[in-house]
Structure 1
């Protein structure tokens, strides 16, 4: 790349996109935000406000196709991702795509096939837990075999409240999708089957929503992973993971920060949502992506990882409906992702 600074275009200026705009401008070195694209002009202008030289577009494709854009951050709803990703692949520029890669495995597979045809890995999926210091330490511990072979993992994923319109199926596609990726990444193997059960629903859940749910994941080597997904827990945001191995256990995601003991009670604080909990992970993810993108590549979850997560989500939603164990259907992994 002739320009040593990565010129980034941002597509999508909603909650996640505006957060990334500020992050790129203030905390990512070697990169500058030069364009924001969103059909909502006011939202695009808000995300670009105060960033010198950053223009706005109401057509997201204009950002991807612009000759002065070296790489793209994609933060639009998942249903819009496929044509935008295909445009970036056709241009041959790296893209960091917030999850999901696409809403279903068939469209995700088309993105994989486009990358294979292009002959290079250009799409990185925004599974930020891979960059969280605690999860990274757990990954190193498991890879080193310090605790012996993994046998079980227990995960919890809790939100204070679900946003309007959030459904039981979205609990799989928008929340447990992170545990699907975390399982594959931590254990280094594919998911083979998913089961879903649930207790009675909390009174805090909107009418028709089944919350909480218990998801059981089976992996190729026989590890069992349980995931409690509870999106109306009421008290804050928590993400935890415990690996149970032949020689010991390791847990990440415990409450952190100052703990007080006063007037016969003790306590601390719980983050209200995912942004403060994973701010460091998002910063590390964007920095490493920008560093890799200057060389034309990625440094994180691939399009194949996004496809595999989508396939696991489909099995999870099918298991919700049927109440039966559901196998995960994957095509043979292309050599590009070996």
Structure 2
């Protein structure tokens, strides 16, 4: 495990307590004391750097949860070592680094990289995917998406609405529709008073796929009431909508109400568990089948274009990249 921050700790707990067939044997973090603390609870060794973890002979596979700008370096090193590597998003903070990873993996000759787009493992999104693929609602025409956070820290800036938040929707749109985004635009409505002065919030992102599907995505990271993820696909003969997380309905004091989850860890806990369970099983089978380096690269291209669209106020078009045959399945 390279990185023992919040999500790194969560994945360490997941591998240790939830997944069978895997054990955390080595960790590293820029905060050495934090790494030592968590290593002591799981009988793992603390190594000086991510490269030491990758090259350790006892390490069969690597999980990268370090600071985003370091991801490409560690993923490339894992490929060079011939070890499967799970990389939390983003695969790379620059599209050119994502392309380097794609090229390195193809040169190695088989898939080693999986990217942490956990929504593909959510039961609701998987059900939506089955409906869309079945043709039950006809050809998709429109998609409406919402990504709301209760609040964000002061370090969150306007570009992160795309680079850190909307990347999940960008990937899930590509996956649900089996299509690529070829144009992007950002609209900035009136700002909420519940945000820091440097932050544009909310933002509305408009996408179009090569097949002509139009998507609107609301990113609102200071909505105050909770963590709320919504998605609806409108087809020629019907619609399919992502269900809200199951909760009880309470009738009391003249009201009917239900709860709203407050963070992503609650909302996608089961998806994270399934993601790691399937990843470990795929390593044992010798056939990775989760989100690929190509998916990480394609998402980085769209993220870069959407960031440009926000800064320029223009519609930015992208040429649909040619997916290599290496990533065809």
TM-score past 0.5 threshold? yes
Question: Matched residue of 1:106: which SS?
Answer: helix
SS of corresponding position for 1:239: strand
Within the alignment, does 1:42 sit opposite 2:37 as a pair? no
Instruction: Confirm or deny: 8 A CA contact 2:22 2:280 kept in the other structure.
Output: yes
Query: Equivalents in 2 of 1:100, 1:227: separation in Å?
Result: 19
Q: Tell me the equivalent position of 1:233.
A: 223
The whole-number CA distance in structure 1 between the counterparts of 2:318 and 2:66 is 27
Aligned residues: 328
CA RMSD of aligned residues (A): 1.1
The aligned residue for residue 96 of structure 1 is 86
- Which of 98, 104, 107 does residue 114 from structure 1 map onto? 104
Distance 2:11 2:320 in 1: 32
Matched, 1:222 2:209: no
Rounded to whole Å, the distance in 1 between the matches of 2:11 and 2:243 is 23
Give the unaligned 5+ runs of structure 2: none
Alpha-carbon distance in 1 for matches of 2:287, 2:67: 24
- Residue 258 (1) aligns with residue 248 (2): yes
Deviations 1:273-292, CA, capped at 9 Å, x for gaps: 10011000000000000011
Deviation string 1:209-240 (CA, Å, 9 cap, x unpaired) is 11001001110100011100000111110111
1:90-124 deviations in Å (ceiling 9; x for gaps): 11111110000000111110111101111111110
Matched position secondary structure for 2:38: helix
Of 198-207 and 293-302, deviating more is 293-302
Give 2:318's aligned residue.
Answer: 328
What do the CA deviations read for 1:25-84 (whole angstroms, capped 9, x no partner)?
0000111111111121111123323213x1112311111111111111110121001110
| Residues in 2 aligned to 1:46 and 1:231: alpha-carbon distance in whole angstroms | 32
* 1:187 lines up with 2:155 in the alignment: no
After TM superposition, what 4+ stretches of structure 1 lie above 6 angstroms from structure 2? Answer: none
Return the alpha-carbon distance in structure 2 between the equivalents of residues 247 and 45 of structure 1: 57
Superposition TM-score, scaled by structure 2 size: 0.97
Question: Partners of 2:171 and 2:38 in 1: how far apart?
Answer: 29
Deviates more, 1:211-220 or 1:244-253: 244-253
The equivalent of 1:166 in structure 2 is 156
Q: Which SS does the other structure have where 2:110 is aligned?
A: coil
Match of 1:19 in 2: 10
Q: Which residue of 1 aligns with 2:22?
A: 31
Q: Are the structure 2 counterparts of residues 255 and 278 from structure 1 closer, same or farther at C-alpha, using a change threshold of 3 Å?
A: closer
- Match of 2:314, SS? coil
Match of 1:300 in 2: 290
Q: Write 1 or 2 for the structure with the bigger share of strand.
A: 1
Higher mean Cα deviation, 168-177 or 34-43?
34-43
Asked if 1:71 is matched to 2:61, the reply is: yes
Report if aligned partners of 2:210, 2:320 keep a CA contact under 8 Å in 1: no
Q: What is aligned with 2:141?
A: 151
Contact (CA 8 Å) 1:195, 1:319: kept in 2 or not?
yes
Query: Is the CA contact (8 Å cut-off) linking 1:37 and 1:59 kept in structure 2?
Result: yes
Deviates more, 1:160-169 or 1:305-314: 160-169
5+ residue gaps, structure 1? 1-9
- 1:133 equivalent in alignment to 2:115: no
